[in-house]
Structure 1
């Protein structure tokens, strides 16, 4: 029987060495002498200790630990990877033996293991181990896939070594349950198991804490990325706003906007934004008119990317209407800008409390070339005609209503179904 034990141990040692070397792929050992040495040392480790001291479960731990030392010594250049691979295949073998031996005990019955029945049990156990070696060889690529998954985890090396000792405890408890284990060895195993469980609980709690911290940092990083994107969009639109103001010869307004870009908190008392981001299209298009005597109320709740119009064109439309509102208000009063989505459209309202537009000209303000005596630079009337043409080009519409208390421009743009 010892000869058969030795032969099975050699088969297992060959399997361990082969799988470890196979999992390393490009880092594998090509020196056959080292592989033979590794197989020989593992065979000695797996056979001599049980042969001399018996099959006590405490020697299972010693055999396992010595196996790790042997792998450590042979695969020096890839220590951690080789140890992970060794403990993985060790875990598979031990669990297989544990499950198969219990199945045999359940089928044959523990009390009837004598004579021919005992020989049958041992034979089937040996056959199962040979079968396992064959299966591991056939499905070695699957084992390597599991090995790679373990390596992808940052702390896999530590956990695979720890968890690989778990089957050793199962075997020990198996021996203890059938009173095979001596009292002293049984007490040592129980104490070691308690320490093993406590260690894992503490370690897993530490890992959970680190995981939560990483998750928190990831949330902060995501938030900062969004904030940086908003800042980028903010600066792009501010530059565009400066360009538009200079293009319309509104240099004083451009100067005021530039001052507010440099000191973004200077005018916080005069702008009230219902959108918390403060970098919406409406807020950026109205920022340049904020001053001591003009207040702006912004409520931007629409996603302008749902329209077919470019955001830059929409920005130019809004800033043109706002500039006309400032003229009508004579640089004093309140502008209310809001946007929202209904079922099929995006609606933008821009209202001011300036002078009423006379009834005889309200229907002409969108005509090309129309102007009033207050429009000294003669470019705003033309701008409103361009505004209407651009909106209608995107199947939208614009209207204006005015009375003694309020003048309101309403822009309606259809939502692009393909967006």
Structure 2
């Protein structure tokens, strides 16, 4: 039986050395003498400790610890990577042996077979040979697991710690069967308690670090959103300046530019009900800087829920607002509001300017219709284009006007896939 144990130990040493070297890929040892030396040292370690001191649990830990030291010395220049690979294949082999030996023993015991211990040991030896073949056939899968472990933070220390876990299972099994000496039993129990305490403390520390990283990620996400909003506001302000310059409204352009520079000062004539004052409606009305025009904004809709680009919607709103300012003759109040109504986004833009005559109110969305003397033909989107663009996104626009108020209503369906 000792010769068989020695032979199995040599097979295990060959498996451990080859799998570790295979996992290292570009860092693997190419000198066969070193590999043979590693196999010899692991074989001597695995057989001699057991032969001299028996199969006590302490011997299992001593053998395991010496094996890690041997692998580290042979593959030392590659630091802890070979130890991770060794711990992985060691855990696979020990767990396989432990599980198979217990299952086979239970099965044989049910059949009341004589010499059950000898037969069980024989089956365990055969199962190990089968495991060696499987490990060599599926070594690429083992290397994938090895790489996955290396990709995880703290994996090096954890895989080393976890590799001792099967040793503790075997030790507890020996203790439960009363085949462990009292001194060895006490040493194992003390080591197990220390092992558990160490892992609890270490995992708590890891959890604390994980919570801090999660907190920092939330802050980073918030800052990214804030920066995106700043970028969007910047783009819309630039577009607003361009629109004003394009319509030769240079005084308004100057006033808006001053307003952008003095971002943190109150505008004085724009009252924003939304908390941040950075909504699309607010941005589309910022250029209205006349002292006699007041703008009330209540923006409660998420325009990203529609299929229309925010830039197109911005230009539509600014077109209607500019028309409203002219209809009011630069004096009065504009009310811009948005909200979500069932499956639609609704935008209302109202002003207290002059009533649109009944004979033209049904024509203002017609192509080519205008009441302005437009020489350069470049005043942004005309109302016909506004309606065409809105209808392209399955929306609709309507206008109603009387002696007290003129109101444009835009209804856009919410994109279900958004």
Quickly name the TM-score band, shorter chain normalised.
Answer: 0.7 to 0.9
Displacement after TM superposition at 1:357 (Å): 4.1
Q: Distance in 1 between matches of 2:103 and 2:360?
A: 97
Tell me the alpha carbon deviations over residues 193-213 of structure 1, each in whole angstroms, 9 at most, x when there is no partner. Answer: 111111111111111111122
Displacement after TM superposition at 1:319 (Å): 1.4
Q: Distance in 2 between matches of 1:260 and 1:107?
A: 85
| SS of residue in 2 equivalent to 1:289 | coil
In the other structure, the counterpart of 1:153 is 152
In the other structure, the counterpart of 1:169 is 168
Is contact 2:105–2:116 with CA below 8 Å preserved after alignment? Answer: no
| SS of residue in 2 equivalent to 1:279 | coil
Alignment partner of 1:323 is 2:332: no
Deviates more, 1:81-90 or 1:71-80: 71-80
Is contact 2:365–2:387 with CA below 8 Å preserved after alignment? Answer: no
Is contact 1:295–1:335 with CA below 8 Å preserved after alignment? Answer: yes
In the other structure, the counterpart of 2:49 is 49
Displacement after TM superposition at 1:401 (Å): 2.0
After superposing on structure 2, the runs of 4+ consecutive aligned residues of structure 1 that deviate more than 6 Å are 379-382, 414-419
Sort the Cα spacing of 1:181 and 1:230 in 2 relative to 1 into closer, same or farther, 3 A: same
Displacement after TM superposition at 1:272 (Å): 4.5
In the other structure, the counterpart of 2:85 is 85
Q: Distance in 1 between matches of 2:343 and 2:54?
A: 82
Q: Distance in 2 between matches of 1:29 and 1:193?
A: 35
Q: Distance in 2 between matches of 1:384 and 1:31?
A: 76
TM-score normalised according to structure 2 size: 0.88
Is contact 1:305–1:311 with CA below 8 Å preserved after alignment? Answer: no
Q: Distance in 2 between matches of 1:16 and 1:108?
A: 30
In the other structure, the counterpart of 1:387 is 383
Deviates more, 1:137-146 or 1:361-370: 361-370
Displacement after TM superposition at 1:296 (Å): 2.6
Sort the Cα spacing of 1:54 and 1:393 in 2 relative to 1 into closer, same or farther, 3 A: closer
| SS of residue in 2 equivalent to 1:301 | coil
Sort the Cα spacing of 1:252 and 1:6 in 2 relative to 1 into closer, same or farther, 3 A: same
Deviates more, 1:90-99 or 1:310-319: 310-319
Alignment partner of 1:210 is 2:227: no
Tell me the alpha carbon deviations over residues 136-191 of structure 1, each in whole angstroms, 9 at most, x when there is no partner. Answer: 11222221221122112111111100011111111111111111111111111111
Sort the Cα spacing of 1:259 and 1:364 in 2 relative to 1 into closer, same or farther, 3 A: same
- Where does the alignment leave 5 or more consecutive residues of structure 2 unmatched? none
Displacement after TM superposition at 1:352 (Å): 1.9
Displacement after TM superposition at 1:281 (Å): 2.6
Sort the Cα spacing of 1:270 and 1:14 in 2 relative to 1 into closer, same or farther, 3 A: farther
In the other structure, the counterpart of 1:185 is 184
In the other structure, the counterpart of 2:62 is 62
In the other structure, the counterpart of 1:259 is 258
Q: Distance in 2 between matches of 1:258 and 1:393?
A: 29
Sort the Cα spacing of 1:276 and 1:140 in 2 relative to 1 into closer, same or farther, 3 A: farther
Alignment of 1:285-364 (within 5 A): 285-290=284-289, 293=292, 294-303=294-303, 306-307=306-307, 311-340=310-339, 346-359=345-358, 362=361
- Where does the alignment leave 5 or more consecutive residues of structure 1 unmatched? none
Q: Distance in 1 between matches of 2:113 and 2:361?
A: 107
Displacement after TM superposition at 1:9 (Å): 0.6
TM-score normalised according to structure 1 size: 0.88
